[in-house]
Chain A
Amino acid sequence: MTEIARSQTSEAHGIGAPLWLLAELTYRCPLQCAYCSNPLDFAAYRDELTTGEWIDIMRQARAMGAVQLGFSGGEPLVRRDLETLVGEARRLGFYTNLITSALGLDEARIMALREAGLDHIQISLQAGDADMAAAVAGSPKAHAKKLAMARAVKAAGYPMVLNVVLHRHNIDDLDAIIALCDSLGADAVELANCQMYGWAQLNREGLLPSREQLEVAEATTARWRERLAAKGRDMRLLFVVPDYYAERPKACMGGWGAIFMTVAPDGAVLPCHSARMLPMSFPNVRERRLREIWYDSEPFNRYRGDAWMRSPCRDCDERKRDFGGCRCQAYLLTGDPAATDPVCEYSPHHGLIEAAREAASTDPRRVEQLTPRSVHESQVFCRQ
């Protein structure tokens, strides 16, 4: 979801349209990845939006100018009305992306989604081999199922992006991971180093790779790009550096409330899928219209533009490019969502990043020993 130009459409208030709508249909998921980006207390949100409510949301968003639509979760295939929603989205003119683990997919459903007009399927892989994949996802059978479904998705004629979350336990196997993606016929591969939100933040020291691991992985990716080009294979490799090793903070979501809007399973409307952990409450589409939420609500305006920034961002030329980095990361690390993202070397809290890298270097846990994303674990956070 990175390659989208900044919205140049603007209404009288100078606020661009939400070009991207992420529809998180459910937090339910059969897998237990220890880096899941869902909220820690996901089990508290059980009152999912209905089919009719989602259709109304899509109509509202489309009328506002949204054109890219991601069906995500949790696992969106858990929703039996997915085909209905895809069909309506396509009629409205959205480009429809299904972001899935592939669990819950079968050939009949692939064809039904195709018939409904689904444009693209993104499948996540946890590793290049079944054993590591099972250890990460907590399911011994998921890997084989994913491979079979990836082949079926390509056979059905979809463009297919594979997404592999990288961390210290699988990053050394990157060569085999890319080879697997190539053999599956992927059109693009997101080699997405784990970012530290949600469950990943909880397991941070057990997930962060070392700088050496990262350098080897980048060299492997570069080698594969050359190899793919040499054989005329059009498979784009997108390598996402972990924030904790980035040189500059990322321009998170293209800016707060700039182009991206998430609707969570219970109808909360968020500037990104991680934002509901911030110490603020977000409007709900069950109570207010999307247009009013996007343009006029206090939470969507709080970190728009740069008037909210403090030093060092306020006086820094790069604020126009990185928007001060990520509000969630600032909050998770400093307790203040308006702080400069500590990823930035100019942040007075940058030492926290260095300390986390240091702590990770001595964390002895195997991937099976991390806290899995599960309803049982989540209920602990619901009570807090």
Chain B
Amino acid sequence: MSAPVDSRTVYRLRPGWRLQWEEAQGRHVLLYPEGMVQLNDSAGAILSLLDGERDVSALIDELTRRYPEAPSGELAQDVRDFLADASQQGWIHHD
């Protein structure tokens, strides 16, 4: 089981990894030594907002502002689930 995601945690990409929009693929990709994760739209949207300053609640607020049509309870839970999973996979770190 993944650890619960604290609202005040500030996640950032793992050092040396890079998030990039790939026009040829029409999506964000996460690039790391000799490999690549091809991200779906929501994963790309979430990771794009990890700027090293926003904590989880600010991240959820920003996503809610950008995607007002999404049911807000579901959105918050989806973001937390994704962050827990991405953290478990080693894509993102926090201090």
Q: Which A residues are within 8 Å of any B CB, using their own CB?
A: 1-5, 7-9, 17, 19, 64-65, 67-68, 70, 93, 95, 97, 119-120, 122, 157-159, 161, 187-188, 234, 236
Contacts and interface: CB of A to CB of B under 8 A. Distances in A.
B67 interface: no
A152 to B, nearest CB: 16
Interface in B77-94: 90
A129 to B, nearest CB: 26
Given A119-B31, A234-B90, A9 B24 contact: yes
A3 B22 contact: no
A5 B37 CA distance: 7
B95 interface: no
Contact of A5 (B22, B32, B34, B36): B36
Given A17-B24, A234-B90, A119 B36 contact: no
B36 A97 contact: no
Interface string B16-31: 1110101011100101
B31 A95 contact: yes
Contacts of B36: 3-5, 19, 67-68, 95
Q: How large is the interface on B (under 10, 10 to 19, 20 to 34, 35 or more residues)?
A: 10 to 19
Contact of B25 (A65, A119, A122, A161): A65
B29 A67 contact: yes
A268 to B, nearest CB: 22
A95 B18 contact: yes
B4 interface: no
Nearest to A94: B31
Contact of B16 (A65, A67, A120): A120
B15 interface: yes
A154 to B, nearest CB: 11
B35 interface: yes
Given A5-B38, A95-B36, 17 more contacts: A1-B34, A1-B35, A2-B35, A4-B34, A5-B36, A17-B25, A65-B22, A65-B24, A68-B34, A68-B36, A93-B20, A119-B31, A119-B33, A120-B34, A122-B34, A159-B16, A159-B17
